[in-house]
């Protein structure tokens, strides 16, 4: 079976016009299709799950101890870094550099020492 490219292009060019001419039926078809899809997914995830029961939930979860310990150490390191960042005090870079109105400007910037 050989597909004719010209006929396919012609069909695809006419398809939007054909759907637009029959907009009510196109919307009705899409609505019914959405209802079918929604009904199937509702059946799969709600009704079928209730029929099966909770047998799958009774199985215990198995954790890999090595992976758990790696994740735990990474979290502890991050928590340690965060707590260190909270306690660190940063100096105010603008302290005594900008005089307040009515005050004299500082003669020397803080942190600078006189050279002899």
Q: How far apart are CA 3 and CA 60, in angstroms?
A: 55
At 103 the pLDDT is: 65
34-81 tens-digit pLDDT:
999 999 999 888 887 777 766 655 666 677 888 999 999 999 999 998
Q: What is the pTM of this model?
A: 0.39
**DSSP readout, 13-56?**
HHHHHHHHHTHHHHHHHHHHHHHHHHHHHHIIIIIHHHHH-STG
**Residue in 43, 59, 60, 41 with CA at minimum distance from that of residue 51:** 43
């Amino acid at each position: 079976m050989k597909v004719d490219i010209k006929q396919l292009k012609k069909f695809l060019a006419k398809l939007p016009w054909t759907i637009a001419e029959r907009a009510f039926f196109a919307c009705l078809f899409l609505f019914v299709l959405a209802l079918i899809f929604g009904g199937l997914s509702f059946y799969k995830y709600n009704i079928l799950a209730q029929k099966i029961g909770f047998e799958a939930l009774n199985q215990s979860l198995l954790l890999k101890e090595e992976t758990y310990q790696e994740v735990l150490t990474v979290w502890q390191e991050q928590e340690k870094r965060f707590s260190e960042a909270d306690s660190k005090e940063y100096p105010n870079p603008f302290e005594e550099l900008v005089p307040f109105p009515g005050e004299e400007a500082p003669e020397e910037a803080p942190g600078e020492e006189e050279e002899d």
